[in-house]
Each structure stands twice: as structure tokens, then as C-alpha cells.
Structure 1
Amino acid sequence: MTIKSMHHIGMTVTDLAAAVAFFEALGLELEGKAHMEGEFVDGVIGLDGSSSDIAMMRTPDDRYRIEFSEFQAPQSIDGSSHAPINALGLRHVAFVVDDLDDTLARIKPHGAELVRNIETYQDVLRTCYVRGPEGILLELCEYFR
């Protein structure tokens, strides 16, 4: 048996509203919010007495989703959210955008910080890394058509 598809990527944040606002400005759509607690959730995630609020966001093409979780219990621990790109583990999420400059202008008021430069790779694309809320690292790519 093989994998049918990827369902979502999960990210834990301390400010769910700020994460949702940032990713809405980026262009993701809020699919829904929910409060999660109880034996079912504890059994899945392996944390007894957990309580969290989640927001599921999707790309406009409805292909990809990011689930953001803000825990009330147990308290979240620092997972080195500002680690550099060469640190082990999930480091960034990449998005294709129509207009890189416009996208950066829309997300800057929500705390986006350019990691260094916007670079052009051959005649293929313009790309950059951006830090969002809580150090979430994004790669934004604008392909030349």
C-alpha cells in the first residue's frame, strides 16, 4: 500500500490569532477552528490532560493544509523556533506566489521579516526566505512565466 496524499502539516504556536492573520495575509484560507481536549486527543498526541485551540488553513487550490495549535495545557515548550535553516527537523514551508513584492508588502505588517535577500535563480524564479510569527520560516517563490 502507498500513501494516497498528504493531509496537513501541523505547527504549534503561542498566538493562534496572530498566526491565522499572518497566513490569511499570505493568501491561505481559514477552513475552520475548533477546541480540542479529552481522551481521544490525549490518546492520539500522547499528552494527558491536553487542551488546545486549533485552526485549519488551506491553500486557495485546496491541495495543502496547515493546522495551527495553541495549547492551554500542557504549556508549550520552546522548540527552537528561531533555529537556522541547517538545524535538524522541519525547517520551512515553501509557497508559490503570483507577485513576490506584493506578497511581502501584505505580510510585512503582520511581522514578516526577510531573512536576507530576494534572489533570482537563472531565468526561472525569484525567491527568498521570510520569518513569520514565532519564527516560522517560509520560502516564497515567484516563477517567471
Structure 2
Amino acid sequence: MAFRVTSYEHVGIRVTDRDVARKFYELLGWEEVIDLPKYHANEMRNADGVYINLIFNGAKRPDDRNILQDEPIKWPGVTHAAFVVEDMDDLLLKLERNGIAISEGPVIYSNRRRVVFLRDPDGNVLEFNELLRPSVSAR
């Protein structure tokens, strides 16, 4: 019997400073809905029901370098979380208004999505995608 994966429940993001991380993710629209002190974590949800967990046991690295992205040796692991946004221009305006730097983009990948990358205060990479309608030539 086969099983199907139809969605994901949440993404866990390890951070070093609970308050700094919470404020950052709140600027992006998430709010803490459950505190999990036993696990040094929380659950955050946005208005559309997308969950993330912040895990508050990260070790601070020099210059907030991401061990999976910024080092010459490429270790296995999850390199980023990718989210879908309804309107990229709305996101770009929100980032600008809140002083959140874009590390790459916006760019169009494979004529299917408009993409922007940014980093949280610990250097964790976040990807936001506006899915594009297929063009007549791409069909």
C-alpha cells in the first residue's frame, strides 16, 4: 500500500535568540500560538494557517554564517525553507518598510515562479515564491 504526502505541517528553524527571532518572524506575519518551554521551542502561525517552529537552542556563529550555505564544505542538511506568497510586490514592500534585506532576487526561475531570498537574524535562508501562471509559449 502506497502513501501520499499532501502537504507539510511545519518547518523547524533553529535560532540563537528567542526575542530577536520572534520579532523578526512577527514582522513577516507569524505570531506565537504555542510556547513549548520543555523543548526550547514554540509554534508560530500566520493568518493563512502556515506554521513554523522556532527552536531556541542554536549556538551563535561568527558573522551569523550559515553552516550549510556559507562554508566551503557543503554538508548535508536542509538549506532553506520555501514559502508561497500571493503577491511578491506586497512582500517586497513589507520587507522595505521593515528594513529587512533581500539576499537575492527577485528573480524568475523556470518561468514558473518569481523568487526572493532573505535571511533571518541567524543567517537561516528563507525563500518566498510567487507562482506564475503558465505563459502560452510555455504550455
Name the TM-score class by shorter chain: 0.5 to 0.7
Runs of at least 5 residues in structure 1 that lack an aligned partner in the other structure? 42-51
Which residue identity does 2:44 align to in structure 1? M
Give CA-to-partner distance per residue, 1:75-110, whole Å, 9 cap, x none. Answer: 836595264289331100011112223213324566
**Alpha-carbon distance, 1:9 to partner:** 2.6
Indicate how the Cα distance of structure 1 residues 108 and 91 shifts in structure 2: closer, same or farther if over 3 A, else same.
farther
Q: Which residue of 2 aligns with 1:69?
A: 55
Which residue identity does 2:87 align to in structure 1? D
Matches within 5 A, 1:48-127: 52=40, 54-62=41-49, 64-71=50-57, 76=59, 78=61, 81=66, 83-84=68-69, 87=74, 88-108=76-96, 112-121=100-109, 123-127=111-115
**In angstroms, what is the RMSD of aligned CA positions?**
3.3
Give CA-to-partner distance per residue, 1:4-60, whole Å, 9 cap, x none. Answer: 774433222111122222222222332222321xxxx6xxxxxxxxxx3x2211343
Is this contact kept in 2: 1:7–1:65, CA < 8 A?
yes
Is this contact kept in 1: 2:11–2:81, CA < 8 A?
no
**Alpha-carbon distance, 1:111 to partner:** 6.0
Give the TM-score, by structure 1 length.
0.65
Q: In structure 2, what is the Cα distance between the partners aligned to 1:116 and 1:132?
A: 13
Runs of at least 5 residues in structure 2 that lack an aligned partner in the other structure? 134-139
Helix, strand or coil at the partner of 2:122: helix
Q: Which residue of 1 aligns with 2:27?
A: 25
Aligned residues between the structures: 126
% identical equivalent positions: 29
Q: Which residue of 2 aligns with 1:49?
A: none
